[in-house]
Amino acid sequence: MLGSSSNGGRTSSSSSSGGGLDYSFKILLIGDSGVGKSTMLLSFVSNTLHDLSPTVGVDFKIKQFTIGGKRLKFTIWDTAGQERFGTLTTSYYRGAHGIILVYDVTRRETFTNLSDVWAKEVELYSTNLECIKFLVGNKVDRESERVVSREEGMALAQKLKCYFFECSAKTRENVQQCFKDLTLKILEVPSLLEKGSIAVKKQKLKQKQVHQTPGDNGCCLS
């Protein structure tokens, strides 16, 4: 079970401490606008679903939790899923340890776009060759409106070499399990563990440098 100590929102990046962490991982949510990425994210990091207005540009939330005796920090990035934000693409994908490709089971075009657009972007821009990828069909609570079958989703996941999940961000069905399985898969890959450990060390070093330069407002840490 995913542990406690969740922290969501833009402001948490500056207040979160690297102290005590074992690994820090970057997770991406990608897919068309309106498929429920933001709701899925909030369902994972928060006990309440709030602020469900469409994402504009890029947003992120942070969650710290313990699994298998390891203390982890997830920085989860969410985009609007619109082409006008394409200028962010390279930096958005860089260094991602896990990628969740989301479609809406009631809108076939969102499913088609995963293979026609999003999967190609992942292949083009992702810098971690062993990055863990999950294909997730959202909105299964609207079963009567479903137009993409579970079998079609599983077939595409196999084609894209992704793990497959279906969930409902609205009712929270399978959302926690999806992130738990993603976490466990990441923890099985030595190269991702090494990079996640290095990320923690970099955060600690950055914090140490900040503490060593009190009042120096002109300092810019790279």
Q: What is the pLDDT of residue 137?
A: 98
Supply 161's token pair.
């070499």
Q: What is the pLDDT of residue 79?
A: 75
Which range has the top average pLDDT, 47-56, 80-89, 191-200?
A: 191-200
Q: pLDDT by residue (tens digit) across 97-142? A: 999 999 999 999 999 999 999 999 999 999 998 999 999 999 999 9
Contact 77, 29 (CB under 8 A): yes
Q: pLDDT by residue (tens digit) across 139-154? A: 999 999 999 999 999 9
Q: pLDDT by residue (tens digit) across 160-174? A: 999 999 999 999 999
Considering only residues 218 and 77, tell me which one the structure prediction assigns the higher pLDDT. 77
Residue 156: pLDDT above 60? yes
pLDDT band at 214 (very low <50, low <70, confident <90, very high): low
Structural domains present in the chain: 6-212 (3.40.50.300)
Q: What is the pLDDT of residue 78?
A: 87
Q: What is the pLDDT of residue 4?
A: 41
Q: What is the pLDDT of residue 7?
A: 43
Contact 27, 74 (CB under 8 A): yes
Residue 31: pLDDT above 60? yes
Contact 100, 136 (CB under 8 A): yes
Q: What is the pLDDT of residue 20?
A: 87
Q: What is the pLDDT of residue 81?
A: 59
Q: What is the pLDDT of residue 206?
A: 74
Average pLDDT, the chain: 82
Q: What is the pLDDT of residue 210?
A: 67
